[in-house]
């Protein structure tokens, strides 16, 4: 993997600041510069009444590891990186290797959903072409064939709940015209929200050495996605059933359950913590991954991310241990 930036939390900063004296106003533009660390922090002019707000003022900023308790470096309970953020206060509660570039697997589909929701109406009808047909037996798919149709709303549900890779291609092709063009849109959006250590080459996360992100960037992307009510509604669903149409117009039924083990009841969250939903991801190179939104009894929101878990048990085990920090 190659690094795309010398700093970790930066993006376009364009903000207008008003003079508190009420005598007038001045507008400042502070251009995005990946090599300038002022981009992530508050900037002041010579007149202390004039300020430009930081891009990151409403985001958590990771400056290093924040470890709680004993950590496992190798073996069946190990993982590559992890992060826990209070999404309401922007406090980082746990951080380990959060800015290390790793493979995201199907967590990629968080950004796929962001770009889709930003660029197309959910009622748009999508049509499958040859690129959507996947024949490999070990690839998560619903078995799309040329001419199959469904709405973007249906596609987003199948994408986020069942993690179908052929549906990810369906979305990309119909919005951007091709997987490559859609990946460009994903990368542009990643930069816009500050995920500058991220690079996508596809909308599904099947392995490519040039397709990578970090736990911190996943927090930024997932935080952005959760601004959509539809996104949070979908990731909270335990099951989903629908009918799409094949090329002859015949209805094809499809049902699935959420891949999130917390929502399936296979893993128990700590007392007083409610997992809302998230996105899983697993490939041989990426290991087991999970980014998730949870809430405490007061309604406060938390975003957790674990990447490159040794196996699925390690990933959910580490997620549970991080959620236990909230209770303390």
Say which of 54, 163, 288, 294 is annotated catalytic.
Answer: 163
pLDDT value for 70: 62
The predicted model gives 208-215 an average pLDDT of 98
Say which of 39, 54, 96, 109 is annotated catalytic.
Answer: 109
* CATH entry, 59-120+182-238+258-328, from 3.30.420.40, 3.40.710.10, 3.40.50.2000, 3.40.50.880: 3.40.710.10
- Taking CA atoms, 47 is separated from 20, 41, 296, in Å, by 11, 18, 42
pLDDT value for 3: 47
Beta bridge partners of 281: 289
CA distance 301 to 295: 5
H or E element in which residue 17 lies: strand 13-18
- What is the SS3 assignment for 294? strand
Beta bridge partners of 304: 84, 292
pTM of the model: 0.83
The answer, yes or no, to whether residue 44 has pLDDT greater than 70, is: no
pLDDT value for 105: 98
Concerning whether 321 is annotated as a catalytic residue, the answer is no
Concerning whether 106 is annotated as a catalytic residue, the answer is yes
- Calculate the CA dihedral of residues 168, 173, 175, 181 and round it to 10 degrees: 100
pLDDT value for 233: 98
pLDDT value for 19: 34
CA angle 65, 66, 71 (to 5 degrees): 90
Burial class of residue 2, CB neighbours in 10 A (0-12, 13-18, 19+):
exposed
Q: How many CA atoms lie within 13 A of 133 on its CB side?
A: 7
**Per-residue pLDDT tens over the stretch 140-191:** 999 999 999 999 999 999 999 999 999 999 999 999 999 999 999 999 999 9
Annotated domain spans of the chain:
1-58, 59-120+182-238+258-328
pLDDT value for 68: 67
More confident residue, 250 or 65: 250
pLDDT value for 327: 72
Concerning whether 163 is annotated as a catalytic residue, the answer is yes
The predicted model gives 106-114 an average pLDDT of 98
The answer, yes or no, to whether residue 46 has pLDDT greater than 80, is: no
**Per-residue pLDDT tens over the stretch 235-257:** 999 999 999 999 999 999 999 99
Instruction: Write down the mean pLDDT value for the chain.
Output: 87
- Residues with Cβ within 8 Å of 180's Cβ and at least 6 positions away in sequence, in order, are 201
The dihedral region occupied by 143, where left means phi > 0, alpha psi between -120 and 50, and beta the remainder, is left
The predicted model gives 8-30 an average pLDDT of 42
The answer, yes or no, to whether residue 40 has pLDDT greater than 80, is: no
pLDDT grade for 321, boundaries at 50, 70 and 90: very high
Say which of 54, 95, 106, 288 is annotated catalytic.
Answer: 106
CA distance 247 to 129: 11
**Per-residue pLDDT tens over the stretch 264-319:** 999 999 999 999 999 999 999 999 999 999 999 999 999 999 999 999 999 999 99
CA distance 103 to 63: 21
Task: For strands 92-96 and 125-127, give the pairing.
Answer: unpaired
CA distance 107 to 25: 43
């Amino acid at each position: 993997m190659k690094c795309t930036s010398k700093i970790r939390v930066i993006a376009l900063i364009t903000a207008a600041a008003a003079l508190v004296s009420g005598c007038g106003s001045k507008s400042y533009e502070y251009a995005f510069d990946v090599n300038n660390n002022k981009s992530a922090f508050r900037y002041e002019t010579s007149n202390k009444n004039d300020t430009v707000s930081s891009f990151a003022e409403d985001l958590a900023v990771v400056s290093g590891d924040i470890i709680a308790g004993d950590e496992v470096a190798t073996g069946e309970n190990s993982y590559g990186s992890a992060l826990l953020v209070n999404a309401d206060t922007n406090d980082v509660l746990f951080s380990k290797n959060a800015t290390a570039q790793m493979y995201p697997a199907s967590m990629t589909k968080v950004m796929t959903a962001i770009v889709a929701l930003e660029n197309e109406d959910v009622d748009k009808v999508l049509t499958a072409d040859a690129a959507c047909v996947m024949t490999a037996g070990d690839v998560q798919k619903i078995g799309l064939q040329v001419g199959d149709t469904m709405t973007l709303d249906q596609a987003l549900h199948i994408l986020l709940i069942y993690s179908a890779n052929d549906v990810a291609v369906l979305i990309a092709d119909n919005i951007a015209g091709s997987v490559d063009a859609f990946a460009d849109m994903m990368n542009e959006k990643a930069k816009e929200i500050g995920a500058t250590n991220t690079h996508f080459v596809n909308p599904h996360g099947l392995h490519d050495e040039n397709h990578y992100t970090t736990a911190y960037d996943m927090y930024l992307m997932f935080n952005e996605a959760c601004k959509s009510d539809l996104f949070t509604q979908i990731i909270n669903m335990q099951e989903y059933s629908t009918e799409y149409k094949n090329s002859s117009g015949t209805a094809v039924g499809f049902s699935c359950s959420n891949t999130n083990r917390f929502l399936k009841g296979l893993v128990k969250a700590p007392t007083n913590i409610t997992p809302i939903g998230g996105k899983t991801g697993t490939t041989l190179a990426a290991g087991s991954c999970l980014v998730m939104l949870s809430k405490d009894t007061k309604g406060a929101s938390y975003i957790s991310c674990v990447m490159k878990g040794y196996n699925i048990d390690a990933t959910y085990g580490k997620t549970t241990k991080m959620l236990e920090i909230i209770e303390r």
